[in-house]
Structure 1
Amino acid sequence: MLDNLPRGTICIEDIEMGMTRSLQKVVTDQDIEMFAQVSTDRNPVHLDDDYARDTIFEGRIAHGMLTAGLVSAVIGEQLPGHGTVYLGQTLKFLGPVRPGDMVRAEVTVTAIDPAKRRVTLDCQCLVDCKKVLVGEATVLAPSRKFD
């Protein structure tokens, strides 16, 4: 279940510095299995309890890109929202996300270039208030001028 603000679009003309949006989602075994199927990444650290117990994580973890996908969801659904085009994304993974973890994905506007419709967003994901992912996204925001 997702806990988030209403979906839609914030046009470049209405985006402000410091604007923030987020969502929360519990990462389930089914999410991990579906991501493995779609991505074809079947690394046993994500899928095999016995294998994963003997790794540095001491148990199964979600794919890092599954966690990063929650950032993409905030960007594509809320800030800027529908019509946004990704131009770039940096990511740093700081900790594991395990099946059953509640992940909070947040994006915050840190720079705006209205002439180019570019927005820079600070991105992070947290589990139990601890950062598990940080990064920065650059996107092309929708504009009312092009509706």
Structure 2
Amino acid sequence: MTVPVLNSYYFEDLKVGMRETILKTVMDSDVVGFAQISGDDNPLHLSDVYAAKTRFGQRIAHGLYTASLISAVLGTRLPGPGAVYMSQTLNFMGPVRIGDVVVVDVEVIELVEKGRRCRLHCECSVDNQVVLEGEATVMVPGRPKPAIG
């Protein structure tokens, strides 16, 4: 994953229509690590034998692993460091398999002055097929006031 570029926007710098995209190849170690961290050891994610008997025919990544890639964009690119998650909707539309390249696209769709809130459309796709979409709301730091002195 080629995430840390670390853009950092203040609320006043944001404009509707701004967007950021990252690409992430899903590795076996990502899925195993996510299972260890989350405690979700569903064999659909960890057992080739079990997963082969499912409608997917092979192991798939956890849906929330894919969703966590959105967090990578929000925390490092748009809006960037200092952004605080307030809410996230998620609509899972397809599986993500080990070896897939996930394209994560985030776009500013609304700015709310009160509380410096930013609403973003979030979409993850594999081979031009949307596998996850939703909206995030984050609180964004304001530009610091100049010191008087």
**TM-score normalized by structure 1?**
0.95
Residues 55-93 of structure 1, C-alpha deviation per residue, up to 9 Å, x if partnerless?
111110000000000001000101110000000000000
Check 1:146–1:41 CA distance in 2 against 1; reply closer, same or farther (3 A cut): farther
Please give the alpha-carbon distance, in whole angstroms, between the structure 1 residues aligned to 2:73 and 2:141: 15
Q: Assess if the C-alpha contact under 8 Å between 1:5 and 1:21 holds in 2.
A: no
Please give the alpha-carbon distance, in whole angstroms, between the structure 2 residues aligned to 1:27 and 1:90: 22
Q: Hey, what does 1:51 align to over in structure 2?
A: 50
- SS of residue paired to 1:144: coil
- SS of residue paired to 1:145: coil
Q: Assess if the C-alpha contact under 8 Å between 1:87 and 1:140 holds in 2.
A: yes
* Number of corresponding residues: 146
Following superposition, the deviation at residue 146 of structure 1 comes to 6.7
- SS of residue paired to 2:29: helix
Q: Assess if the C-alpha contact under 8 Å between 1:5 and 1:22 holds in 2.
A: no
Q: Assess if the C-alpha contact under 8 Å between 2:4 and 2:76 holds in 1.
A: no
Please give the alpha-carbon distance, in whole angstroms, between the structure 1 residues aligned to 2:133 and 2:43: 25
Q: Hey, what does 2:117 align to over in structure 1?
A: 118
Identity %: 48
Q: Hey, what does 1:96 align to over in structure 2?
A: 95
Matching of residue 37 in structure 1 with residue 36 in structure 2? yes
AA matched with 2:46: L
Q: Hey, what does 2:137 align to over in structure 1?
A: 138
**TM-score normalized by structure 2?**
0.94
Please give the alpha-carbon distance, in whole angstroms, between the structure 1 residues aligned to 2:144 and 2:113: 12
Following superposition, the deviation at residue 116 of structure 1 comes to 1.9
Residues 98-136 of structure 1, C-alpha deviation per residue, up to 9 Å, x if partnerless?
000000111100000123200000000010111000000
Residues 40-62 of structure 1, C-alpha deviation per residue, up to 9 Å, x if partnerless?
10000000011001111111000
Question: Larger C-alpha radius of gyration, 1 or 2?
Answer: 2
- Residue range with higher mean Cα deviation, 107-116 or 21-30: 107-116
For the aligned residues, what is the CA RMSD?
1.5
Check 1:78–1:146 CA distance in 2 against 1; reply closer, same or farther (3 A cut): farther
Unaligned runs of 5+ residues in structure 2 are none
AA matched with 2:108: V
AA matched with 1:96: P
Please list every run of at least 4 consecutive aligned residues from structure 1 whose deviation after the TM superposition is greater than 6 angstroms: none
